[in-house]
Amino acid sequence: MNRRRFLTTSGSAALALTSGASASLPLPAAAQNRPRQPSQLKLGCQSAPTTDEHLGYLARYGVRHICGYPRIGDPGGNRVYPTVDELSSMRDLAEKHRIEILCVGPHILESSYINNEKHPAIMLAQSPERDRDIEGFQNLIRNCARTGLPSIKYNMSILGVLRSGTQPGRGDELDKVWKLSEAHPDTPLTIAGPVDADAFWERITYFLDRVVPVANEYKIRLACHPQDPGVPPEGYQGVDRVLGTVDGLKRFITIRESSYHGLNFCQGTVSEMLADPKEQIYDVIRYFGERNKIFNVHFRNIRGHRNDFVEVFPDEGDVDMVRALHVYREVGYQYMLMPDHVPTAALDPHGLQSFAFCYGYIRGLMQSADYAV
């Protein structure tokens, strides 16, 4: 487009946007005669906390569905699950902002480093403590059902989220980096000690054997996040991250097969597992999506590949996010697309501006896809 035509078109667009509150730009000619086919995709977010202030921020940017984090009124910190009243209070607060809570984040099985976990027994296979914490998770399932909250996300991680540093991104942002060749853990092992694949699968299976039947009974979806990032089979800090490969995730969903047992599908983390994510990620989405095993999506992007990548804004990574969104539609995915791991900057240390950018980006893709063939 030449400069004169650009200015003329820009001026017409500005006039259309300012000529009245209801004015809008016309659709392209090819789309004008094409019926809008809205999908069931929902713009969502899992950022915390679920407070009046943060809910107001989310509502400001058109986020109407979220993962919520209930407060637990237990000064001693021994109760790991919220009561029905505590869940209802969180739900009511969100509804005040016209936001619906579609997922709940528990106070155990988070993505944090095991040495920092207040309740590590499930992942350490410590009995009888892990049975007590599993009972707490079962109570969370029951209380979510009684409160009308349909899903719970969780992690089965010992190492948390591994990154080796940061590097400058566009503008004044900082992007997080993982280069396995440059990663140097603070200690050779965590408090978990060596955990090979067999030991890790035992801990996963022990948990699923006890919670999936309760999820079936109460019809609550359990969404597990992959391990971020994957590491070589010999492990990192003595830990073989079995949920850090696509084959591992395929095995995971077959343990206690159930329509309520699936994935908190982090597209960024799964991309980090692949040798060529810009070509491979779409078939992975199809594999789990066609089996109805995707319960949430962290819709984020990376540049790079397994063992060497940088986290970036969704519009500047290797994965074609437009194509990815169409695959989610193709497989009938109907839950949230959420930003995750956004870049930060000195003037935006908590990433609120970055999240706002991602909300608009995802909303725009969703709306444009409604008119696509």
Kindly report the CATH number assigned to the domain that includes residue 127.
3.20.20.150
Q: Please tell me the predicted confidence (pLDDT) of residue 77.
A: 74
Q: How many domains does the chain have?
A: 1
Q: Please tell me the predicted confidence (pLDDT) of residue 102.
A: 98
Q: Please tell me the predicted confidence (pLDDT) of residue 75.
A: 74
Residues 347 and 330: beta-carbon distance below 8 Å = no
**b/e code 109-147 from CB counts within 10 Å (16+ = b):** bbbbbbeebebbbbbbbeeeebeebbebbbbbbebbbeb
Q: What percent of the chain has pLDDT over 90?
A: 85
Quote the CA–CA distance of 330 and 370 in Å, as a whole number: 12
**Maximum CA pair distance of the chain?**
75
With 50 as the cut, is the pLDDT of residue 373 above it?
A: no
With 90 as the cut, is the pLDDT of residue 228 above it?
A: yes
Rounded to the nearest 5°, which phi and psi values hold at 152? Answer: -130, 130
Q: Please tell me the predicted confidence (pLDDT) of residue 369.
A: 87
With 60 as the cut, is the pLDDT of residue 342 above it?
A: yes
**Residue 256 lies inside a defined structural domain of this protein:** yes
* HEC secondary structure over the chain: CCHHHHHHHHHHHHHHHHCCCCCCCCCCHHHHCCCCCCCCCEEEECCCCCCHHHHHHHHHCCCCEEEECCCCCCCCCCCCCCCHHHHHHHHHHHHHCCCEEEEECCCCCCCCCHHHCCCCHHHHCCCCHHHHHHHHHHHHHHHHHHHCCCEEEEECCCCCCCCCEEEECCCCEEEEEEEHHHCCCCCCCCCCCCECHHHHHHHHHHHHHHHHHHHHHHCCEEEEECCCCCCCCCCECCECCCCCCHHHHHHHHHCCCCCCEEEEEEHHHHHHCCCCHHHHHHHHHHHHHHCCCEEEEECCEEEEECCEEEEECCCCCCCCHHHHHHHHHHCCCCCEEECCCCCEECCECCCHHHHHHHHHHHHHHHHHHCCCC
The pTM assigned to this predicted structure is: 0.89
Write down the mean pLDDT value for the chain: 91
Q: Please tell me the predicted confidence (pLDDT) of residue 271.
A: 98
Q: How much is the average pLDDT of 8-13? A: 40
Q: How much is the average pLDDT of 109-122? A: 94
Q: Please tell me the predicted confidence (pLDDT) of residue 231.
A: 93
**Residue 27 lies inside a defined structural domain of this protein:** no
Quote the CA–CA distance of 363 and 210 in Å, as a whole number: 38
Q: Identify the residue with better confidence: 263 or 111.
A: 263
CA end-to-end span of the chain:
26
With 60 as the cut, is the pLDDT of residue 181 above it?
A: yes
The token pair at 34 is 């094409």
Which residues form the domain of 333?
42-369
Residue 36's pLDDT band, with cuts at 50, 70 and 90, is: low
Q: Please tell me the predicted confidence (pLDDT) of residue 2.
A: 45
Residue 8's pLDDT band, with cuts at 50, 70 and 90, is: very low
Q: Please tell me the predicted confidence (pLDDT) of residue 223.
A: 98
With 80 as the cut, is the pLDDT of residue 60 above it?
A: yes
Of 15-19, 214-218, 223-227, 325-329, the least confident: 15-19
Q: Please tell me the predicted confidence (pLDDT) of residue 18.
A: 38
Q: Please tell me the predicted confidence (pLDDT) of residue 12.
A: 42
Quote the CA–CA distance of 225 and 297 in Å, as a whole number: 10
With 70 as the cut, is the pLDDT of residue 94 above it?
A: yes
Quote the CA–CA distance of 220 and 260 in Å, as a whole number: 6
Of 22-36, 114-128, 166-180, 325-339, the least confident: 22-36
Q: Please tell me the predicted confidence (pLDDT) of residue 233.
A: 85
Q: Please tell me the predicted confidence (pLDDT) of residue 4.
A: 43
**Residue 10 lies inside a defined structural domain of this protein:** no
Residue 35's pLDDT band, with cuts at 50, 70 and 90, is: low
With 80 as the cut, is the pLDDT of residue 10 above it?
A: no
**Residue 26 lies inside a defined structural domain of this protein:** no
What are the C-alpha distances in Å from 55 to residues 82, 100, 107, 357? 19, 11, 20, 17
**Residue 166 lies inside a defined structural domain of this protein:** yes
Q: How much is the average pLDDT of 153-182? A: 96
Q: How much is the average pLDDT of 98-123? A: 95
Q: Please tell me the predicted confidence (pLDDT) of residue 3.
A: 40
**Residue 21 lies inside a defined structural domain of this protein:** no
**Residue 124 lies inside a defined structural domain of this protein:** yes
With 70 as the cut, is the pLDDT of residue 31 above it?
A: no
Q: How much is the average pLDDT of 151-164? A: 97
Of 4-18, 96-110, 183-197, 235-249, the least confident: 4-18
